[in-house]
Amino acid sequence: MALSAAMDLIDPGLAYHHKRVGMMAGNLAAAMGLPPTEIARATLAGMLHDIGYLGRDEGAWTPDERPTDRSARIGGRILSIAGFTRDLSIPVAHHHLPWAQVKGANGLSGNDAILAQIVHLADLTDRMLDRVSPLHPQACAARVRIDAFDENALAPSVKAAFARASAADAFWLEAAAIDLDRRLERLAAPAASQALIAADMTEFGRLYSIVVDARSVFTATHSWGVAAVAEAMGAHAGFSHDTVVALELAGQLHDVGKLAIDVAILEKPGKLTPDEFAAMRAHAYYTEVLLRRVPGFDDLAKWAGDHHEQLDGNGYPHRHTQDDLPPEARLLSVADRYVAMTEDRPYRRAFTPGQAIELIEADAAKGTIDTRFAALLHDHLDAIDGIRREAQLEEQRFVAQILADE
Ligand SMILES: [Fe+2]
Ligand SMILES: [Fe+2]
Ligand SMILES: [Fe+2]
């Protein structure tokens, strides 16, 4: 659910598109008589089908002009990062292809090919609907258009299931339902309960951070750098093992709210205007909101959401003061600043580690960040900076594989 919520933030114009596609895909799988686990897989694949879109490349497409399938292939590779999304990878990677190509693709097992077609059709259908004019005439028109697809475009069994399922008003009404989240949770439950037990949080963090970082060249390796620095600082500071692990994850996820920020702002070559900067600042707020949706993430969501807060109350988004900022949040904000300073930005070159720690200690002296963590970073600067560089190189290689044109 949290992943899909993050997807909805990528493009406000597509808000709820992913959930509606998930709902229709689940209902189509049910109409085909697939078992509950496959219905769940169709639902989740539908909810996450645009994960490789990353807010750039192809842009929007209409039912009449096919999308290129690069973003679908990237999405498939992103989903293969984590064990709990791996079985969505192949259907998502193939969801832009017509049936003639899906059925001929190498190594696609029966259900994967059908699920790819189900997601394809659900995506296509949702794009035929505007969310303004009356639903019924649009539904009728969509049924006519889809009925005209031949067996090269759409698998006959999926087309037949759509004809049956979409004859019911409920098929269309459900996709627009106000309790969309509850219905989706029910459809996805057989996969989700399995997924949560198996979920390796490191993989979860990797998957999210890649989606965030791959959107901008300037921060392409930022999350893994912050994660590694936060982990190393946490260990030196003597936090418990569990807290150190949580700090690493918080580092990986601290900028996940950037999914809600326009790529044009993230990538702007130059200083942001005051309005753009205000829009950018919202990312910390969205980070907290998104992470709070994940069960068990309450502390982590606060630390991550507070990474731009300052002890003197001049940070954002809450203007918290020191009483509201636990040590973990203070540590994370020092780690974030340090890594950001060692990276190029559109408006300045990277600082050296020595310059960065000087600036951080000056900030600490001014009372904006915690002197204790600034000193700790200073004391272990060489070791921690080595760890940072290694982690950022690792992410760079990882992202290159995901975005590779094969
Ligand atoms: Fe889509
Ligand atoms: Fe940030
Ligand atoms: Fe950051």
- Does residue 192 contact residue 88 with C-beta atoms inside 8 Å? no
- Residue 332, classed as helix, strand or coil, is helix
Q: What is the arithmetic mean of pLDDT over 296-305? A: 93
Amino acid at 399: V
Under DSSP, the state recorded for 348 is B
* β-pair partners for 345: 348
pTM over 0.75: yes
Kindly report the backbone phi and psi dihedral angles of residue 345, in degrees, each rounded to the nearest multiple of 5, phi listed first.
-125, 160
302 belongs to the catalytic site: no
Q: 47-61, 124-138, 262-276, 286-300: lowest mean pLDDT where?
A: 47-61
Distance 225 CA to ligand 3 centre (A): 9
pLDDT band per the 50, 70, 90 thresholds, residue 242: very high
Amino acid at 19: K
Residues with CB under 5 A from ligand 2 (ion): 255
Catalytic residue among 19, 258, 271, 366: 258
Report which bound ligand comes closest to the CA of 223: 3
Fold for domain 2-198? Answer: Hypothetical protein af1432 (1.10.3210)
Q: How many Cβ atoms sit within 10 Å of the Cβ of residue 34?
A: 20
Nearest CA among 292, 334, 273, 291 for reference residue 309: 334
Distance 43 CA to ligand 1 centre (A): 13
148-173 pLDDT, tens digit each = 999 999 999 999 999 999 999 999 99
362-388 pLDDT, tens digit each = 999 999 999 999 999 999 999 999 999
Q: Is residue 398 scored above 80 in pLDDT? A: yes
> What radius of gyration, in Å, describes the C-alpha atoms of the chain?
23
Q: Is residue 46 scored above 60 in pLDDT? A: yes
CATH number of 201-403: 1.10.3210.10
Domains 2-198 and 201-403 share a fold: yes
64-83 pLDDT, tens digit each = 555 567 889 899 999 998 88
Distance 226 CA to ligand 3 centre (A): 7
Q: What ranges do the domains of the chain cover?
A: 2-198, 201-403
Distance 73 CA to ligand 1 centre (A): 13
